[in-house]
Chain A
């Protein structure tokens, strides 16, 4: 019997495309590509592969504008993860992915499998995973639902990441009413590998064998990809669409896979994540320009009676698909067996470009791999959201008067700013003995014992609060902040991986925000010369409570060359009494481009999200990055911290808290109501607050002048109070703000932790 004799989907169902989550036009396109109607199994395969999650059908055209190449880029978007050359024969693989939909339904398992999935993407490049970062969004923590989500997600990340032995070294958390029912969980993973051992997902060599390795296949997560491509519906129980992870098996899979790759017999490899076997087989075959003949009978299963379509779509975790040289199968099986895992030959690579699937010899599906892997592409209508610009005008004279000291304490206790220690102490951030700068600073810094002259820095940034008001500027700010975080540690940014989290792209106003975000991302990365090496788009983040704001999250990796010669990699806390405090960057001049628009100050102190977020002078920013990298290299920097959420005053307070030292500084306050708040709490500009020894001040000033970056000496580190005085306004002799560091610390340490403890 051949596939053609089976009943077609059209014959067995009414409106079959609806069940597969496709449109009538897409069904027609499938028939056109096949020259016939698909059978129900084939249609289900198209359904998952042409889902938004797998096909990027609404985003691909727009994403083409992103800068993705550079001299160090060994693999860019389109592979399981981007790979960057770091020199001396070493490379890093880097990728971020969202796991928003599963986490909304099942915070623990959704987040845990998000970690597992991204780790396998890095593994698929032949790299050993060495670090994880998470970017999380929740509703306001006063809401018990948001706290339940927070605890579940953190526990999921902690359980999976800790058990698998990959340190979680950094991350960020933002809260906002938009995320109460639609939390965001974006996880990034970094891997280390030798340049010559980069693995590929391109299936090659007719006659080579196709193997499934790792865990057994069950019914979990079927239709996960399609589920992640639709809005959340509270009436339905969608937990069956969430996969369940097993970090123990994940750890064994890492070791066994790296051992198998080291044999040299693995031709191609890919994670079996979204859309399971269907996705891995069709993408690997399509990328290699070959076909595969597979028999599902050989797939090791954890339950009986599974239909072929269930085996094809299962998203059971901790599995990889490999193409290996014929003859090596016994050796590969032996490796996986020794680690207590499955490894079975399913079939072989064929020259003919066809994915021919049978089950115990009975034909199941016969499809051209590229027809599955290359979904349709849409460029939906885009329209600026009505009334968006109405939020921009900001009249500071309307704001009620709040004493600066009170505002600072409120900001430090705001969950967006307060210490996230209550989260990261639940993550093993030290395993693998690499973490030189621990979580809590601007960027995490990892040493590489394999290659001691180099160190890597990692940061993740993004703000939905800015996205609400101006998606273009929000994207630019995410990139520039991440780059500034790396430069604070002296690291040269190498590459970006991003998660673009949006609502329904079929809504023209949402799609406009997507287009503008990608433009912002693209412009910022081009201006700063940082390629985007991969990432992920997550659409349909909306529920009955409404859509999320455009939320662009950027994870960036940077390199410290000659790290062993750097006398001290600066962290954020002040280091020594008597050190001088300097502000470098555009905010240090007489006319700073600072604004309270979209600021944390307005949100936390006045309960408003309005104004226009700051514009970044990208050429200035680029000079600032260079200055910082050079200053750290020369050992001129004792501590450094960028001014972001809460502006200058919050950055200064954090330097005091982290260094357990006070500071006395003087700032110039222009005339006019609200200008004081703008200087203290305004955001934007490209500003880094650093401290240096009194002897090094002159060298830093000259270096800043050489780089054409404004710089201002503000004061001195010392004592146990933070005192901010005004040079030109207020009551003479009376500082703008004078608080014990102990009080600042208490606000900052408990601001987030209290919600973690609260039921």
Chain B
């Protein structure tokens, strides 16, 4: 399984993603330049965290219009796997590849800390290695991560199993205190209806090695390898 990691001007987690996939997961990964309108031969495209185009205008808004996004849209339509982490999630939402919006945190401040996240749907290609209700420790680092969707859409997302991750406390309870940014329904990550595009605010690449305090994020990348085996 081959990974492509998109580099937008202002991406800050591109090298981190490349490192984790190559050195920790042991899979091949190539950088993908934002200006190219064609994707290289890859099975998964990752949109990494950072501040693409300085997050000017609105987080992810300018990157959503860059040439590579056209290619990613076609890739996704053909069933290719697309993973947006943090700023990558914001870009996917701005590009319309995922529903809803990501607003400023309720605190209006940037927040970097390790939080607990519950796996709500272990049946996506990104979550096969997890089990239902598993509580993960994953770091967040964002200023605009408050997921919002109007209630009819929320109901649809919930019934179709598109809510993949939810903020919770250590025991797996979704309490207001455990919601770091004020997201509706405590949503930390969602997928599209087809399940091949996932966006999440927490950083799985920052929790892929015990030296950094948690390996819970690595299972997300492992899931993709399992998916590849299953498809084969």
> Contacting chain B: which of A170-178, A427-435, A665-673?
A427-435
- Known A433-B20, A433-B212, A435-B212: A428·B110 in contact at CB below 8 Å: yes
B25 within 8 A of A: no
Interfacial residues of chain A within 222-264, with CB under 8 A of chain B in the complex: 246-249, 251-252
Are A252 and B206 in contact, with the CB atoms below 8 A? no
Are A425 and B51 in contact, with the CB atoms below 8 A? no
Question: Which residues from chain B contact A449 at a C-beta distance below 8 Å?
Answer: 19, 23
Contact with B along A12-38 (1 / 0, CB 8 A): 000000000000000000000000000
Are A430 and B112 in contact, with the CB atoms below 8 A? yes
- Known A247-B51, A435-B212, A449-B23: A426·B110 in contact at CB below 8 Å: yes
Closest to A340 in B: B9
* Alpha-carbon distance between A478 and B212 when the two chains are bound, in angstroms: 30
Interfacial residues of chain A within 318-364, with CB under 8 A of chain B in the complex: 339-340
Closest to A247 in B: B54
Are B16 and A248 in contact, with the CB atoms below 8 A? no
A436 within 8 A of B: yes
CB distance from B166 to the nearest CB of A (A): 21
Question: Which residues from chain A contact B139 at a C-beta distance below 8 Å?
Answer: 430
A447 within 8 A of B: yes
Interfacial residues of chain B within 150-209, with CB under 8 A of chain A in the complex: 203, 205-206, 209
Are B112 and A248 in contact, with the CB atoms below 8 A? no
Are A162 and B16 in contact, with the CB atoms below 8 A? no
CB distance from A282 to the nearest CB of B (A): 32
B12 within 8 A of A: yes
B60 within 8 A of A: no
- Known A158-B110, A425-B111: A248·B211 in contact at CB below 8 Å: no
Q: Is the interface of B mostly helix, strand, loop or mixed?
A: mixed
Closest to A251 in B: B10
Closest to B11 in A: A165
Are A164 and B12 in contact, with the CB atoms below 8 A? yes
CB distance from A523 to the nearest CB of B (A): 38
Are A430 and B110 in contact, with the CB atoms below 8 A? no
Are A436 and B112 in contact, with the CB atoms below 8 A? no
CB distance from A250 to the nearest CB of B (A): 10
Are B16 and A431 in contact, with the CB atoms below 8 A? yes
* Alpha-carbon distance between A39 and B56 when the two chains are bound, in angstroms: 43
Question: Which residues from chain B contact A431 at a C-beta distance below 8 Å?
Answer: 12-13, 16, 49, 141
A720 within 8 A of B: no
CB distance from A207 to the nearest CB of B (A): 34
* Alpha-carbon distance between A61 and B209 when the two chains are bound, in angstroms: 50
Interfacial residues of chain A within 126-167, with CB under 8 A of chain B in the complex: 155, 158-159, 162-165
Our pick among A164, A165, A425 for the contact of B112 (Cβ within 8 Å) is A425
Are B54 and A162 in contact, with the CB atoms below 8 A? no
Are B16 and A433 in contact, with the CB atoms below 8 A? yes
B113 within 8 A of A: yes
* Alpha-carbon distance between A428 and B54 when the two chains are bound, in angstroms: 15
Question: Which residues from chain A contact B206 at a C-beta distance below 8 Å?
Answer: 430, 433
Closest to A422 in B: B109
Interfacial residues of chain A within 415-449, with CB under 8 A of chain B in the complex: 424-433, 435-436, 447, 449
Measured as residues with beta carbon below 8 angstroms from the partner, the interface class of chain B is 20 to 34
Are B51 and A426 in contact, with the CB atoms below 8 A? no
Our pick among B9, B10, B111, B205 for the contact of A433 (Cβ within 8 Å) is B205
Measured as residues with beta carbon below 8 angstroms from the partner, the interface class of chain A is 20 to 34
Are B205 and A248 in contact, with the CB atoms below 8 A? no
Question: Which residues from chain A contact B203 at a C-beta distance below 8 Å?
Answer: 430
Are B112 and A426 in contact, with the CB atoms below 8 A? yes
CB distance from A291 to the nearest CB of B (A): 36
B50 within 8 A of A: yes
Closest to A163 in B: B51
Our pick among A339, A340, A426 for the contact of B111 (Cβ within 8 Å) is A426
* Alpha-carbon distance between A354 and B17 when the two chains are bound, in angstroms: 49
Question: Which residues from chain B contact A162 at a C-beta distance below 8 Å?
Answer: 51, 110, 112, 141, 143
Question: Which residues from chain B contact A425 at a C-beta distance below 8 Å?
Answer: 111-113
Interfacial residues of chain A within 163-201, with CB under 8 A of chain B in the complex: 163-165
Question: Which residues from chain B contact A429 at a C-beta distance below 8 Å?
Answer: 112
Are A252 and B9 in contact, with the CB atoms below 8 A? yes
Are B56 and A436 in contact, with the CB atoms below 8 A? no
B43 within 8 A of A: no
Question: Which residues from chain A contact B19 at a C-beta distance below 8 Å?
Answer: 433, 449
Interfacial residues of chain B within 15-54, with CB under 8 A of chain A in the complex: 15-16, 19-20, 23, 49-51, 53-54
Question: Which residues from chain B contact A158 at a C-beta distance below 8 Å?
Answer: 109-110
Candidate in A165, A432, A449 with the most chain B CB atoms within 10 angstroms: A165
Our pick among A164, A426, A436 for the contact of B211 (Cβ within 8 Å) is A436
Candidate in A159, A427, A433 with the most chain B CB atoms within 10 angstroms: A433
Contact with A along B91-134 (1 / 0, CB 8 A): 00000000000000000011111000000000000000000000
Interfacial residues of chain B within 33-92, with CB under 8 A of chain A in the complex: 49-51, 53-56
Contact with A along B200-226 (1 / 0, CB 8 A): 000101100101100000000000000
Closest to B20 in A: A433
Our pick among A252, A424, A426 for the contact of B10 (Cβ within 8 Å) is A252
Closest to A455 in B: B211
CB distance from B219 to the nearest CB of A (A): 17
* Alpha-carbon distance between A433 and B48 when the two chains are bound, in angstroms: 14
Question: Which residues from chain B contact A251 at a C-beta distance below 8 Å?
Answer: 9-10, 12, 51
Question: Which residues from chain A contact B50 at a C-beta distance below 8 Å?
Answer: 165
Are A432 and B112 in contact, with the CB atoms below 8 A? no
Question: Which residues from chain A contact B11 at a C-beta distance below 8 Å?
Answer: 165
CB distance from A392 to the nearest CB of B (A): 43
Question: Which residues from chain A contact B109 at a C-beta distance below 8 Å?
Answer: 155, 158, 426
CB distance from B35 to the nearest CB of A (A): 8
CB distance from B160 to the nearest CB of A (A): 33
Question: Which residues from chain B contact A340 at a C-beta distance below 8 Å?
Answer: 9
Candidate in B23, B112, B211 with the most chain A CB atoms within 10 angstroms: B112
Closest to B203 in A: A430
Interfacial residues of chain A within 268-284, with CB under 8 A of chain B in the complex: none
CB distance from A254 to the nearest CB of B (A): 10
* Alpha-carbon distance between A433 and B22 when the two chains are bound, in angstroms: 14
Candidate in B49, B54, B111 with the most chain A CB atoms within 10 angstroms: B54
* Alpha-carbon distance between A427 and B143 when the two chains are bound, in angstroms: 11
Closest to B207 in A: A430
Are A339 and B212 in contact, with the CB atoms below 8 A? no
Question: Which residues from chain B contact A164 at a C-beta distance below 8 Å?
Answer: 12
* Alpha-carbon distance between A428 and B141 when the two chains are bound, in angstroms: 6
What would 26 A/B residue contacts be, using CB atoms closer than 8 Å? A158-B109, A162-B141, A163-B12, A163-B55, A165-B51, A246-B54, A248-B10, A248-B51, A248-B53, A249-B54, A251-B9, A251-B12, A251-B51, A252-B10, A426-B109, A426-B110, A426-B112, A428-B110, A430-B139, A430-B212, A431-B141, A432-B15, A433-B19, A433-B20, A433-B205, A449-B23
Other A-B pairs, 16, CB within 8 Å; known A158-B110, A164-B12, A431-B49: A155-B109, A159-B110, A162-B112, A163-B10, A165-B12, A165-B13, A248-B10, A248-B54, A249-B54, A252-B10, A339-B9, A426-B111, A430-B139, A430-B141, A433-B205, A433-B206
Those 6 A-B pairs whose CB atoms lie nearest each other, nearest first: A248-B54, A165-B12, A163-B51, A428-B141, A433-B16, A428-B112
Residues of B in contact with A (beta carbons under 8 Å apart) = 9-13, 15-16, 19-20, 23, 49-51, 53-56, 109-113, 139, 141, 143, 203, 205-206, 209, 211-212
